[in-house]
């Protein structure tokens, strides 16, 4: 299964999956049989031939110990758009399938728990890069009549509305993404043993999540009474306010004149700094974070990042005393470190939120987190601007 030698391999009989009606099925019930585990889809170009062959194969060898376990999959071009029960009915009525049809599965979400750091660091990297690249584009595209007079003449529409071009560019990109999302497949997957979730603080701090003694089943359906979840959401919301306030203040600070304690940068300089930070963020989240998260655990790693952020931010007034290439080099390093540390904290909080609840509650839990974060982020720009 591609696991490293440090991770013990699991037998297929140790997994529990969901059937088409959502009930748990322990694969140990098939122990001793020859298993053909196959992924199926009702709208694939090979649907007819595959189902026909599977039905024929099963009828010929079922009495000799063969079991076919079929898992519908919608991941490839939405070829299984209906529910699991729809897929089961399709196979059983049209192709007379007598073998079991299980719940819909998604191969990209079959992650062992030790891979959660990589999965969520990729998510937070994409989100964080958007927060960095957006202002960077604003820096490059703002005031186009001044920066690119051969393309945008003076006294033209672009000169009268100097910030319309970056706004239009971001809006056009968002529109294209929104249209593309129409074809985005469903990504819910019921993981083996998904009824278990982690709320043991010591296990999270050490990163040791493989011991069954460190796992319990969350019984509380009321998410607001789930303290591990709500505590991580509260910290996440407060940190989001701080982070968006920093972004607002940083952009104002770097373009402010030196006599006011600023760096006297141009908007192009701001774009350069944020673009470099975005590239560094990709490298950090994809290649460094997963290994460090396994070594320290998400809580401890987030705490270390928070502590390191304090002296880093305190150094900014002293950075303003520099000049020339030294200033440019130091502010790039400081901005990169600040964004990496912030994404480290956010990724750790994402992991904590997802491990604090059962899988069927994760949609609601993330909804609460996003709502509270949005409220706090609405306060951030106003507060940052006032300060």
- Encode pLDDT of 11-64 as tens digits: 777 888 888 887 888 888 888 889 998 888 888 777 888 888 898 899 988 888
Residue ending a domain, among 81, 105, 129, is 105
Question: 49 in a domain, yes or no?
Answer: yes
Residue ending a domain, among 46, 74, 105, is 105
Return the pLDDT at 225: 87
- What pTM, to 2 d.p., does this model score? 0.58
Same domain, 18 and 125: no
Return the pLDDT at 5: 43
**Is the Cα dihedral 159, 163, 166, 172 positive or negative?**
negative
Which residues, in sequence order, are bridge partners of residue 36? 68
Question: 1 in a domain, yes or no?
Answer: no
Asked if 350 and 341 touch (Cβ cutoff 8 Å), the reply is: no
CATH assignment at residue 92:
3.40.30.10
Return the pLDDT at 293: 80
Asked if 355 and 204 touch (Cβ cutoff 8 Å), the reply is: yes
Structural domain for 369, as ranges: 113-386
Same domain, 301 and 369: yes
Same domain, 132 and 166: yes
Same domain, 218 and 252: yes
Return the pLDDT at 178: 84
Question: 137 in a domain, yes or no?
Answer: yes
Question: 3 in a domain, yes or no?
Answer: no
Residue ending a domain, among 54, 79, 105, is 105
Return the pLDDT at 136: 66
Q: Which residues of the chain have pLDDT under 50?
A: 1-7, 106-111, 189-219
Percent of the chain as helix, strand, coil, to the nearest 5 = 65, 5, 30
The count of structural domains within the chain is 2
Rounded distance between C-alpha atoms, residue 48 and residue 85, angstroms: 19
Question: 135 in a domain, yes or no?
Answer: yes
Same domain, 202 and 53: no
Same domain, 303 and 326: yes
Q: What is the tally of helices (H) and strands (E) in the chain?
A: 14, 4
Return the pLDDT at 132: 62
Same domain, 269 and 285: yes
Return the pLDDT at 332: 93
Question: 6 in a domain, yes or no?
Answer: no
Return the pLDDT at 330: 95
Same domain, 202 and 287: yes
Among 113, 126, 132, 123, which residue's Cα sits nearest to residue 293?
A: 113
Q: Is 181 a catalytic residue?
A: no
Same domain, 61 and 129: no
What's the pLDDT tens digit per position in 90-113? 889 888 888 999 887 644 344 455
Same domain, 301 and 261: yes
């Amino acid at each position: 299964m591609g696991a490293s030698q440090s991770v013990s391999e699991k037998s297929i009989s140790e997994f529990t999956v969901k059937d088409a009606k959502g009930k748990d099925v322990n694969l140990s019930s098939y122990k001793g049989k020859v298993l053909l585990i196959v992924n199926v889809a009702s709208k694939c170009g090979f649907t007819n031939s595959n189902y026909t062959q599977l039905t024929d194969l099963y009828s010929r060898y079922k009495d000799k110990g063969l079991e076919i376990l079929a898992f519908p999959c919608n991941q490839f071009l939405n070829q299984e758009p209906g529910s699991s029960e729809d897929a089961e009915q399709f196979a059983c009525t049209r192709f007379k399938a007598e073998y079991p049809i299980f719940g819909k599965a998604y191969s990209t979400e079959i992650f062992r728990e030790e891979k959660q750091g990589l999965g969520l660091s990729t998510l937070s990297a994409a989100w964080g890069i958007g927060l960095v690249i957006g202002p960077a584009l604003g820096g490059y595209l703002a005031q186009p009549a001044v920066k690119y007079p051969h393309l945008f003449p003076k006294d033209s529409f672009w000169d009268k509305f100097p910030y319309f071009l970056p706004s239009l560019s971001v809006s056009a990109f968002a529109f294209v993404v929104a249209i593309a999302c129409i074809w985005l497949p469903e990504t819910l997957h019921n993981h083996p043993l998904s009824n278990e979730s982690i709320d043991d603080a010591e296990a999270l701090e050490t990163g040791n999540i493989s011991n069954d003694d460190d796992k319990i089943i969350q019984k509380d359906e009321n998410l607001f009474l789930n303290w591990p979840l709500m505590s991580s959401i509260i910290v996440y919301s407060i940190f989001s306010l701080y982070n968006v306030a920093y972004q607002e203040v940083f952009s104002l600070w770097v373009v402010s004149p030196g006599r006011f304690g600023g760096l006297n940068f141009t908007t192009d300089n701001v774009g350069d700094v944020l673009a470099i930070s975005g590239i560094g963020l990709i490298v950090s989240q994809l290649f460094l974070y997963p290994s460090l998260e396994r070594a320290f655990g998400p809580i401890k790693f987030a705490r270390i990042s928070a502590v390191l952020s304090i002296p880093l931010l305190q150094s900014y007034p002293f950075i303003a005393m520099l000049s020339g290439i030294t200033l440019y080099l130091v502010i790039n390093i400081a901005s990169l470190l600040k964004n990496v540390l912030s994404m480290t904290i956010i990724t750790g909080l994402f992991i904590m939120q997802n491990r604090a609840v059962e899988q069927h509650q994760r949609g609601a839990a993330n909804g609460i987190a996003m709502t509270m974060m949005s409220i706090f982020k609405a306060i951030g720009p106003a507060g940052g601007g006032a300060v």
